[in-house]
Amino acid sequence: MLLCGLVFPLVVTGFAQVLLHDQANGSLAHLNGSNGRKVGSYLVAQNFSFPFFFHSRNATLSASGVDPDITLADALSQIPRISGATNITQGDLSSLVSQNIERTSLFFGDGYLNVLRLNLALIHNFQTTYCSTPPLSYCE
């Protein structure tokens, strides 16, 4: 009981903290780099509902409802809404989407986008828009 209930979990936790520190602590995202305010986890979907952000997949399209990624087509379909809400050109938003495409491997797999990472890039690249966006200011 001591071996399986105490020693083994402590050893696994210790290895995880040393070898995979970021993942073991939940892959936390910070608003302005590692010293900024914690705004979520890259591993779990965030509830973005404002029209000036990219939104996560509808829960009915994700088996768990907490999938943090969207397809490229889904991201591109949201560009007109975001452009209308922020006055950022659709070309600039398309470029931002293209720069943030991730793949499961270098050559294989469809492209996807992490919604939190994409929205943080949106805030970072268009600070003049998002630092003054009501109802909240997204800059520190």
CB-side exposure of 120: number of CA atoms within 13 Å?
A: 22
Residue 61 has pLDDT above 70, yes or no: no
What's the chain's average pLDDT?
A: 81
* Report field, pTM of the whole predicted structure over 0.85: no
**For residue range 98-138, what is the model confidence (pLDDT) as tens digits?**
999 988 877 777 889 999 899 989 988 998 887 776 655 56
Residue 94 has pLDDT above 70, yes or no: yes
Four-residue CA torsion sign, 100, 106, 112, 116: negative
